[in-house]
Structure 1
């Protein structure tokens, strides 16, 4: 079934998604609101090296109300953004990779659950969040990807922000929505930082999603410093759509605008 926007369908069939540019998302599922890898305010700087790279937002976003959970896939600043986390209520529960959990705990969050690969967290008996191997960060650290699943309707979402789906995803059998990069990003010496089309194709083959939503690539955000002019990007929605068609993959690619709340009607039949 193709996803549509139909307010008359039962709520349990719906997933609501808001993209705040780059890797920041609000996921509304099973009447729960999950804030994923939030960067909503201030600039983005890695390890205080603003001269190296600095992300600049043309506008900041209000902290969304009624958040039930903060979910962090990595401990790097573009996923666990300290200025944003400082604006959020430290009493909110946090689920994170071990690296992300250390960031949250260091900022005073009191309900932090660190998920190793293969571990699962259940939010209020309504949503299960399972960690899978995600992006390799250096030679000895692999961060998290997540399967987020509505325990009542079966609707599911997979998220991994660097384009590194793991073969263990085969055990899932399928998902309804996948959030994954489409544009690759590389540096001449460091190599590939984000796997766009290759990773997205692997996600489509492993999980057969109804919808793919691009992440990581900036829409309104701009970058300053030494590194941005050296970065090489490759890939597009049209190229991915063509590559999926060549492989008889049927996922629909949606490209939301920053701040736009998408209401997705989905049949819980892929998971």
Structure 2
């Protein structure tokens, strides 16, 4: 797949959409002393804090330039990079820790940093066979990799992880998945360009602990039947979904209209993590869709490195 992929087509927003944060509610709420909080590390990178425990979802701090949200879209030949110095700064200072790392799918803006973070933190990593194959080829410790296919409901000290079968966002007029493909654990080819990091199936995760639960999707699509009966307190909802019929209304209704909806995957990641998030154009449409579909849900915008406590 050598054509350039535009995430503007992926999320169905106009090329001229400007960053709009005005009107967003403050990313704070009255704490309930549960030890549960969420910190946003940009894109779909979330740190879930459950007392002394830490769960990371799709941690990607490097944010190398791809032009993903430019009119031309990302160049599939863009080399993969891992900013080890940046990751070391956060991990060595104790600011970033992990007991588990959860991977939703194999694309460059979700998986690239995970192998190095796994080595640095000693965390157990969950993902599909393809995700684990990619990470093993990129140097992740094999004994820290745990395969998941969706349907798992796992208990650990202080929290549980529910793994759900899910779907990636739909791209362009043919509603395609960018960089599709899968690979076995025995595959030894080392990924070197962003097109080498194939989707490899998509998972979503519900993490519960301290009396609260958070549900995350790595792409703006889902398997509705997988979500039956789930009632998360916090929904991490990707911007976009233009190609998905009733994206916001079906999701929010199925989940019982969660108390909090936090947008995710809405920032242009060509810009650094230590700058405020720049809306690629999907934030306002998502806010409006949530307000229409679930007026009782509080839409809370968390900026880079901010923490939200329900």
Asked whether the 8 Å contact 2:163–2:205 carries over to 1, the reply is: yes
**Higher mean displacement: 104-113 or 32-41:** 104-113
CA-to-aligned-CA distance 1:91-129 (integer Å, 9 cap, x gap): 3211123322222333232221111121223223x2221
Deviation at 1:42, TM superposition (A): 5.6
Residue 202 (str. 1) matches residue 233 (str. 2): no
Structure 1: runs of 5+ lacking an equivalent: 186-191, 224-232, 265-271
- 1:1-271 alignment to 2 at 5 Å? 5-6=29-30, 9-10=32-33, 12=34, 14-41=35-62, 43=64, 49-50=77-78, 60=86, 62-63=90-91, 64-82=95-113, 85-89=115-119, 91-106=122-137, 107-109=139-141, 110-124=143-157, 126-136=158-168, 137=177, 138=180, 142-150=201-209, 153=211, 155-184=212-241, 198-207=246-255, 208-219=257-268, 221-222=270-271, 235-237=282-284, 239-264=285-310
Deviation at 1:143, TM superposition (A): 1.0
Residues 1:108 and 1:88: Cα distance change in structure 2 (over 3 Å) = closer
Alpha-carbon separation, structure 2, partners of 1:75 and 1:104: 9
Asked whether the 8 Å contact 1:121–1:130 carries over to 2, the reply is: yes
**Higher mean displacement: 64-73 or 110-119:** 64-73
Alpha-carbon separation, structure 2, partners of 1:240 and 1:41: 26
Deviation at 1:32, TM superposition (A): 1.5
CA-to-aligned-CA distance 1:22-79 (integer Å, 9 cap, x gap): 111111125311111011126266897118xx9999x956234432111111122211
Structure having the larger proportion of residues in strand: 1
Deviation at 1:163, TM superposition (A): 1.4
Deviation at 1:209, TM superposition (A): 1.0
SS for the counterpart of 1:175 is coil
Residue matched to 1:227: none
Deviation at 1:210, TM superposition (A): 0.9
Asked whether the 8 Å contact 1:182–1:200 carries over to 2, the reply is: no
- TM-score in terms of structure 2 length: 0.63
Residues 1:42 and 1:222: Cα distance change in structure 2 (over 3 Å) = closer
Alpha-carbon separation, structure 2, partners of 1:66 and 1:236: 29
Asked whether the 8 Å contact 1:44–1:81 carries over to 2, the reply is: no
Asked whether the 8 Å contact 1:175–1:209 carries over to 2, the reply is: yes
Residue matched to 1:229: none
Alpha-carbon separation, structure 2, partners of 1:168 and 1:144: 14
SS for the counterpart of 2:107 is coil
